[in-house]
Chains A and B, each alone.
Chain A
Amino acid sequence: MTIAVSTRPGRPAASDWVRRLPEVLTIWVPLLLSAAHLIAFTLWTIWISFTPSTLVPVSGWVGLRNYSAVAASRNWQIALDNLVLFGSAFVLLSLATGLILAILLDQRIRGENVLRSIFLYPLAVSFVVTGTVWSWLLNPGLGIQKLVHDLGWTSFRFDWLIDRDMAIWTIVIAAIWQSSGFAMALFLAGLRSVDADLIKAAQIDGAGAVRMYRRVILPTLWPITITVIVIQLQFAISTFDLVRALTNGGPGIATQLPALVVYDLMFQRSLLGRGAAAAVLMLLLLLGVLLPYAAWRYVQRRRTIHA
């Protein structure tokens, strides 16, 4: 049995293969299935996006016709506009909320654990639940507006849910409620890992609390900030459940987002080719976020190795 000592064994004998069959199968079958489904599914969806498929997948080649049809559709244009607005507002606001909460919690607060749990619990519930509950709270005839009216202030208006121009902000509100805690958790971990000597040195130099954060602590947080931005953008691009439960894309198509367009094309209009094209466009949007991030991570890693 001493042959098998090396961590990368050489070519084993044939009888050895038979004996090792169970472990080889256990290792490879799930991994290969998973890898194969990722590669095959991606390639297949890309292929369908170039075919004239409608109700069922068919072969054939229509070039970029599906893509131009999707890009020219009002649905997709509104979805993209919404994504830009929702993505930037949600990412910036949840980043700010998370950072402020993390800094406040880092001030040796009593009850920190309880507060942290409160800010994080929305992450444990589904977007369907979040969307449903916020659709009640933001419904002018049921929620906050109705409450204020019942209290006597009858001219109060908070009807974004049924306002075409403002409805997308209801999604921003619910998304911030759901996932600011995530940014907070990462920032808090970052704050806790700031070099204590760095802080001590700044204190000796007589830096006040505000100066300390601006000059010493916050600059160390920017790698975490970028990670949070990328993850939140990734979430924004693929948002589906939350909108389905909160506005269902409405009023009209005012809160349409790319993931809803894909679903609509594939399963409600049975335009498989166009649906696949919209899915590929979503993937490209994601890659537009993830590839620069991966490149940045790669450069960072090389830098720390060479430093």
Chain B
Amino acid sequence: MRERSVAPSRILIYLILSLVAAAWLAPLAVVVLNSLRTNEEIAQGSMIGWPQHLAWSNYAAAWSGFCVAETCAGIRPYMLNSALVTVPATVFSTLLGAIAGYAVSLWRFRGDSWIYGIVTLGIFLPQQMRLLPWTIVLRDTGLMNTLTGLVLIHTIQGLSFTLLFCRNYYVAIPQELIRAARIDGAGFFRIFWRIILPLSPPILVVTVIWQFTHIWNEFLYGVTFTTGQQQPVTAALIALSAAVADIPQHGVQSAAVMIAALPTLLIYLIGGKYFVRGLTAGAVK
């Protein structure tokens, strides 16, 4: 510690930062606290308050008890749906993006910069422009109201992002490395497997975190292309709010919100550095 009296301006800086931090944490704190209060307790006071005793039963009810429409299985089936969409779509889009990014940046072929430009333009195309075409594609392929349909959508659309991330990372790899390997007789896949993949963990982590977070949090496609028991958890949360509008169960709902937010919050806690790297990399596009 330096021997120096703390200037008033420093105190002001810490004061402002702490106040904003408190305001930023407040919504999370409110949900966590409410998830541990009984519905009656919340109904008597407000949503902002300390639990009188810890009502862990909210989590049990949220996980496998409460009813949306006619089914009373809690949030569990919808969490499973989200996982069954998010995990495969993240893996497929990341893998395809890595291979395509490698091909576009290091292998080079006729039309490579054209196809790269077109695919990455997909980052900017609003979902609303694709809603009707996807409706028809899913209906004609029999994938309407299936998790496979959502995996297909997120894989194809995710490629715009994964290609951008991976290509921008791979262009920094010297072409000589590839050239030397080709002289040694290595082909496209062998070079990818032996040289490119071992260099890729940093960008793959960024890409996986980005894709997982976005697909898990996605709502519009989920609510448009699936109904009832097939819905991802974001759509189910909205359905839950509507279902309990008459008799609010804010304790259980808070627990459900916590459970739904937990996977991406955990990923952010563990891989925050990579999450931010993805954010800023996406911004410099």
Contacts and interface: CB of A to CB of B under 8 A. Distances in A.
A42 to B, nearest CB: 6
Nearest to A8: B108
Nearest to B185: A1
A35 B119 contact: yes
Interface pairs A-B: 4 shortest CB-CB: A126-B217, A124-B268, A146-B46, A23-B188
Contacts of A30: 96, 99-100, 156, 159
B121 to A, nearest CB: 7
B125 interface: yes
A13 interface: no
Given A118-B25, A126-B216, A241-B220, A41 B109 contact: no
B45 interface: yes
B80 interface: no
A136 B100 contact: no
A304 interface: no
Contact of A44 (B24, B133, B159, B237): B133
B118 A279 contact: no
Contacts of A221: none
Contact of B219 (A115, A133, A241, A278): A241
A147 B48 contact: yes
Chief secondary structure at chain A's binding surface: helix
A299 B18 CA distance: 41
Nearest to B124: A290
A125 interface: yes
A132 B257 contact: yes
A23 B187 contact: yes
B44 to A, nearest CB: 10
A147 B130 CA distance: 44
A84 interface: no
Contacts of A125: 217, 261, 264-265
Given A45-B132, A177-B24, A278-B128, 19 more contacts: A1-B185, A7-B175, A34-B163, A35-B118, A38-B121, A41-B125, A119-B21, A129-B217, A136-B34, A137-B48, A142-B46, A142-B250, A150-B45, A185-B276, A238-B127, A238-B128, A240-B127, A267-B224, A282-B128
A21 B179 CA distance: 21
A78 interface: no
26 contacts: A7-B179, A23-B188, A26-B99, A26-B103, A30-B96, A31-B115, A41-B130, A44-B132, A48-B132, A105-B17, A117-B272, A125-B265, A126-B234, A129-B237, A133-B27, A134-B27, A137-B48, A177-B27, A189-B280, A238-B127, A238-B128, A240-B219, A245-B241, A259-B128, A263-B224, A276-B132
B188 A275 contact: no
Interface string B178-195: 110011010111000000
Contacts of B182: 1, 4-5
A119 to B, nearest CB: 6
Contacts of B261: 125-126, 129
Interface string A236-253: 011011001100000000
B65 interface: no
A59 B261 CA distance: 44
B69 interface: no
B268 to A, nearest CB: 4
A220 interface: no
B129 A104 contact: no
A27 B47 contact: no
Interface of A: 1-2, 4-5, 7-8, 20, 22-23, 26-27, 30-35, 37-42, 44-45, 48, 57, 97, 100-101, 104-105, 107, 109, 115, 117-130, 132-137, 139, 142-144, 146-147, 150, 177, 181-182, 185-186, 189, 227-228, 231, 234, 237-238, 240-241, 244-245, 259, 262-263, 266-267, 272, 275-276, 278-280, 282-283, 286, 290
A45 B257 contact: no
A280 B115 CA distance: 23
B122 interface: yes
Contacts of B241: 132, 135, 245
A171 B126 CA distance: 20
Contacts of A139: 47
B238 A244 contact: yes
A136 B156 contact: no
A286 B129 CA distance: 12
Given A7-B175, A227-B284, A238-B127, A35 B17 contact: no
Given A31-B119, A101-B20, A238 B219 contact: no
B179 A128 contact: no
A286 B108 CA distance: 32
Contact of B275 (A7, A107, A124, A266): A124
A46 B33 CA distance: 48
Nearest to A4: B182
Given A5-B182, A124-B264, A186-B280, A147 B219 contact: no
